[in-house]
Amino acid sequence: MRIHDQAAVVQFEYGDAWVVSARGSYDMYSITPLAEALDTAAEAHRKVVLDASGITFGDSTLLNLLILTHHKADLRVAAPTQQVRRLLEITGADTLLKVRATVAEAAAC
């Protein structure tokens, strides 16, 4: 059984993008708050940035959420942690998603 880091989601506007900043660990047991935030953001905003700098763990559940959100909006992933970057690289999702080093770069592209 996995002990989760306290997951938290904060949202804010950055230029013409909507930023969803995620902190903590995300799997099938903890993904709901992030999924709801990204779904709401994708419905209301054309450009959505996921600030992934605080994600300590993500599995296929997170990956699936990112791909689904990508189909609903112009999703960019900003500042992914090494674990998230590795997940994107080994699955090839980094070729599908716009991955940038910072929120500012992600919002600008």
pTM: 0.92
Q: What is the reported pLDDT for 6?
A: 73
Query: DSSP E strands: which ranges in 29-97?
Result: 47-58, 74-78
Going by pLDDT thresholds of 50, 70 and 90, the confidence category of residue 7 is confident
Q: How far apart are CA 19 and CA 14, in angstroms?
A: 7
Mean pLDDT calculated for residue range 19-46 = 96
Q: What is the pLDDT of residue 1?
A: 42
Output DSSP code: residue 5: P
